[in-house]
């Protein structure tokens, strides 16, 4: 069965850090561009960060630039999102997504979605 599973979400105080992980089973992440998206109730799912299939390019939304870092893990078939200096407005369900496009996937060309992990930034 092909699936993506996110982990690492939780409750953190403003200014804190979390590391999200995305693990794949049934297929190889090396063959896909990977994106992290987030969504809050009542709003559209937004793209936060992504890494190209070749690992030659990354993308960050302006709202997270300089604070988040995406990387392919040393562990096989994983991708991480390191989130530092977290703000309350980062609170959302974070989704991992895999796409066969070469560069940054949009919500319209994702082949596989994870079920999401909740990140809550609050004091």
Q: How many other C-beta atoms are found inside a 10 Å radius of the C-beta of residue 59?
A: 18
> What distance in Å separates the CA atoms of residue 8 and residue 118, rounded to the nearest whole number?
9
Which one, of 2, 13, 16, 23, lies nearest residue 117 by Cα? 23
- In this prediction, residue 31 carries a pLDDT of 87
> What distance in Å separates the CA atoms of residue 20 and residue 26, rounded to the nearest whole number?
20
pLDDT tens across 17-56, in order?
999 999 998 888 888 999 999 999 999 999 999 999 999 9
Distances in whole angstroms, Cα of residue 34 to Cα of each of 10, 11, 68, 78, 121: 22, 24, 15, 10, 24
High-pLDDT (> 90) share of the chain, % = 85
Position 119 confidence tier, pLDDT thresholds 50, 70, 90: very high
> What distance in Å separates the CA atoms of residue 34 and residue 54, rounded to the nearest whole number?
11
Q: Is the pLDDT of residue 75 over 90?
A: no
- In this prediction, residue 82 carries a pLDDT of 98
Position 2 confidence tier, pLDDT thresholds 50, 70, 90: confident
Q: Is the pLDDT of residue 62 over 80?
A: yes
């Amino acid at each position: 069965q092909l699936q993506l599973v996110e982990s690492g979400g939780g409750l953190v105080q403003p200014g804190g850090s979390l590391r999200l992980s995305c693990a794949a089973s049934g297929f190889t992440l090396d063959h896909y561009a990977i994106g992290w998206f987030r969504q809050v109730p009542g709003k559209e799912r937004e793209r936060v960060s992504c890494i190209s299939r070749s690992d030659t390019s990354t993308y960050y939304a302006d709202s997270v630039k300089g604070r988040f870092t995406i990387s392919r893990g040393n562990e096989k078939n994983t991708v991480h999102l390191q989130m530092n200096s977290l703000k309350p407005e980062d609170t959302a369900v974070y989704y991992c997504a895999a796409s066969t496009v070469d560069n940054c996937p949009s919500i319209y060309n994702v082949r596989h979605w994870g079920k999401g992990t909740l990140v809550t930034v609050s004091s």
